[in-house]
Amino acid sequence: MQPLYRLAEAIGITPDALPARELPITSIAYNSRNATEGSLFVCLVGAVTDGHRYAGDAYLRGCRVFVAQRKLDLPEDALVLYTENSRTALAELSAAFFDHPERELTIVGVTGTKGKSTVCEMLRHILCAEGIAAASIGTVGVRIGDELLPTVNTTPESYELFRIFADMRERGVTHVAMEVSSQGVKLDRIHGIRFHTAIMTNLSPDHIGEAEHPTFEDYKACKEELFRRTELAILNADDPYADEFRAVTPVPTVLYGLGSDADLSAHALTQMETEHGFGIRFSIRGSETQVTLPFPGEFSVKNALAAIAAAGLLGICERDAARALSSCAVKGRLELVPTPIPNVTFVIDYAHNGESLTAALKALRAYEPTRLICLFGSVGGRTEIRRRELGMAAAEYADLSILTSDNPDREDPAQILSDIERYMGDAPRVVIPDRKEAIEYAVSIAEPHDIVLFAGKGHENYQLVSGKKLPFCEREIILAAAEALRIRP
């Protein structure tokens, strides 16, 4: 609870401008369904809807204090505080409401097109292994200790973000690794946060469309903005946009990559098989440190270098970071699903665009399977570019593709799959729109020494259909299908 005058001051409104200086505010709401008596309701303007339209509903639920960008038609007992930008206002109000928990945390922000979740989890794992109370925020959720809490967005809305920070502070967390999405920047979700370190993983065209970014330049500019809000920076020297990011970064910068010109670089990469799946081993150039990762691919090496670099800026030596990474696991990222079917490898991964699918398939191809089978689809409401790139990636690197639904939302799944097929030429494929049926089919046709990649869902435990998240656990379906085959007469 906070007095209104203290919150009003956070958005530049002086106490003498308020008719009710000591009015207690018990919560902040930006969804009218969460508004109650004692709430302050912030009218957010979004890509799909406008919170000003729901101020009346918030009033009916007992709310009497509002923050808005334009005039509201409300009864006379409603107090409306006007601001130029309700999104930045929400962030400033939230920080004040929770007594600025961000100031008591060391926050590392990770941005890029791919690899954000993995780098965050790697860094959190290293810090925890060194006895540091660390947590993470991102696509997979909020991880504090052994607890994983769900989030709606990769970078939560500012109110949720400051509430999470406050909870972390209360539970003794000192360090946070968090994913910073381009939307998180564009929609001012990280407004007011100063980062200790910002990490760039890589950049390629993605999230470009009517409800996201109008152009790649806009997408890139949002990513770059993070590096104006940090004390230190870590950039991928191998990425073609590294120089552009470096040019807009006014703070000390560490470069990582596979090239010898990077400050932290890897060499002697060796693919390996372990008792629990696939992995890769490499050495850090210029030192005796060797790193063993329990997941494959050159991209995994780069993610590890980013995490090691960040750990170094936080005072952890390369050798200790490497030791911790040998036991790191990232949910839904090239994750092995053990089944009773002998000599067949089932892998789930979050790869949901052309570049990430190519990287995953190339990493698995290095283990020389008899067949590399890829089950995938494309989400509804996204651009034709993504479907083209997914189709081309699977056509080039998979021996057999199984096309199926992946969060079709309000689009016809058959149309999405038809869009993908247009770019696959004569590549072998099967089209099964129902993802459960497609998974069962994939398991049923797998033969010894095949690798089957289930791409797109990764950590997700739902299927988005017609605006509703329906329960859907890919792991459970794979295991059930495998078990059914095992006991079949």
pLDDT tens per residue, range 449-478:
999 999 999 988 899 999 899 999 999 999
Q: Where are the alpha helices (DSSP H) in 381-486?
A: 384-397, 413-421, 435-445, 474-486
| Confidence tier at 26 by pLDDT (50, 70, 90) | very high
Residues 315 and 381 in one domain: no
- In this predicted model, what pLDDT tens digit does every residue of 324-364 receive, in sequence order? 999 998 888 888 899 999 999 999 999 988 989 999 999 99
d(CA 254, CA 308): 11
Residues 77 and 128 in one domain: no
In the predicted model, is pLDDT for residue 444 greater than 90? yes
In the prediction, which pLDDT does 487 show?
A: 65
- In terms of Cα–Cα distance, which of 337, 341, 336 is closest to 487? 341
| Confidence tier at 223 by pLDDT (50, 70, 90) | very high
Residues 223 and 263 in one domain: yes
Residues 84 and 118 in one domain: no
Cα dihedral value 74, 158, 239, 295, nearest 10: -130
In the predicted model, is pLDDT for residue 489 greater than 60? no
Q: Is residue 42 part of a domain?
A: yes
Q: Are 254 and 309 in contact (CB under 8 A)?
A: yes
Strand 462-465 and strand 400-403: pairing?
Answer: unpaired
Tokens read off for 378: 């494309």
Residue 26 sits in which domain range?
2-97
In the prediction, which pLDDT does 260 show?
A: 82
Residues 307 and 431 in one domain: no
Q: H or E segment at 364?
A: helix 354-365
Q: Look at 19-28, 140-149, 292-301, 434-443 and tell me which has the smallest mean pLDDT.
A: 19-28
| Confidence tier at 206 by pLDDT (50, 70, 90) | low
Q: Is residue 330 part of a domain?
A: no
d(CA 387, CA 394): 11
- What is the amino acid identity at position 327? S
Tokens read off for 74: 């409300």
In the prediction, which pLDDT does 23 show?
A: 85
In the predicted model, is pLDDT for residue 172 greater than 70? yes
| Confidence tier at 211 by pLDDT (50, 70, 90) | low
Residues 14 and 160 in one domain: no
Residues 143 and 254 in one domain: yes
Q: What is the percent of the chain with per-residue pLDDT over 90, rounded to a whole number?
A: 78
Chain-wide mean pLDDT for the chain?
92
d(CA 286, CA 322): 15
Tokens read off for 17: 């401008």
Q: What is the percent of the chain with per-residue pLDDT over 70, rounded to a whole number?
A: 96
Mapping DSSP to helix (H, G, I), strand (E, B) and coil, where does residue 431 land? strand
How many CB atoms are located within 10 Å of the residue 196 CB? Answer: 17
The domain boundary residue, chosen from 42, 72, 97: 97
Residue 444: φ, ψ to 5°: -70, -25
What lies within 8 Å, CB to CB, of 362 at 6+ separation is 297, 397
Residues 66 and 127 in one domain: no
Mapping DSSP to helix (H, G, I), strand (E, B) and coil, where does residue 39 land? strand
C-alpha distances in Å from residue 301, one per residue of 131, 360, 447: 24, 13, 30
Q: Are 307 and 122 in contact (CB under 8 A)?
A: yes
Residues 199 and 321 in one domain: yes
Burial 435-466 (b: 16+ CB within 10 A, else e): bbebbbbbbeebeeebbbbbbbbbbbeebbbe
- In this predicted model, what pLDDT tens digit does every residue of 38-93 receive, in sequence order? 999 999 987 678 999 999 999 999 999 999 999 999 999 999 999 999 999 999 99
Tokens read off for 149: 């809490």
Mapping DSSP to helix (H, G, I), strand (E, B) and coil, where does residue 2 land? strand
Q: H or E segment at 265?
A: strand 264-274
The domain boundary residue, chosen from 47, 75, 97: 97
- In this predicted model, what pLDDT tens digit does every residue of 267-315 receive, in sequence order? 999 988 766 678 999 999 999 899 999 988 999 999 999 999 999 999 9
The domain boundary residue, chosen from 97, 121, 144: 97
Most confident range (mean pLDDT) of 19-23, 370-374, 459-463, 485-489 is 370-374
Strand 462-465 and strand 468-471: pairing?
Answer: antiparallel
Number of domains, the chain:
3
What lies within 8 Å, CB to CB, of 13 at 6+ separation is 81
In the prediction, which pLDDT does 151 show?
A: 85
Residues 296 and 150 in one domain: yes
User: What CATH number has the domain bearing residue 28?
Assistant: 3.40.1390.10
Q: Is residue 451 part of a domain?
A: yes
